[in-house]
Amino acid sequence: EAQLLESGGGLVQPGGSLRLSCAASGFTFSSYAMNWVRQVPGKGLEWVSGISGSGGGTYYADSVKGRFTISRDNSKNTLYLQMNSLRAEDTAVYYCAKDPDFVLVTRLDVWGQGTTVTVSS
């Protein structure tokens, strides 16, 4: 059974940095694109970033472009999200999600349980 487990969330000051991790198991990690999606508590879903199976293609929402970097280590079956210059509006639950396609976002068929990021002084 495919499973995703996020970690790395926490409290950080505005302007600070944080790196999220997502450990994958139960499937051939390198064969699939991966994504980060966030949700402000009580609000809707927002796609943040996606990366192809090889790591060669990356995509970002305009709201995080230039501040966040998505990456993956296929030898460790792990997805990352490096978040810099954090703002209060980045406060959210961050989910990692698997795509059944190798390259682009087609659909998100497996989701982790989420990790909470709070940006506050």
Among 60, 68, 80, 94, binds another protein (CB under 8 A): 60
Does 23 bind another protein (CB under 8 A)? Our answer is no
Does 50 bind another protein (CB under 8 A)? Our answer is yes
Does 113 bind another protein (CB under 8 A)? Our answer is yes
d(CA 58, CA 54): 10
Beta strand 115-119 pairing with 10-12: parallel
Residues in binding contact with another protein, number by CB under 8 A: 22
Residue environment code for 63-86, b if the CB has 16+ CB neighbours within 10 A, otherwise e: ebeeebbbebeeeebbbbbebeeb
Contacts of 109 (CB under 8 A, 6+ apart): 97, 98, 99, 100
Does 1 bind another protein (CB under 8 A)? Our answer is no
Does 29 bind another protein (CB under 8 A)? Our answer is no
Among 9, 82, 105, 118, binds another protein (CB under 8 A): 105
d(CA 103, CA 9): 27
Pick 30 or 46: Cβ nearer another protein: 46
Binding site for another protein (CB under 8 A): 35, 37, 44-47, 50, 59-62, 95, 104-109, 111-114
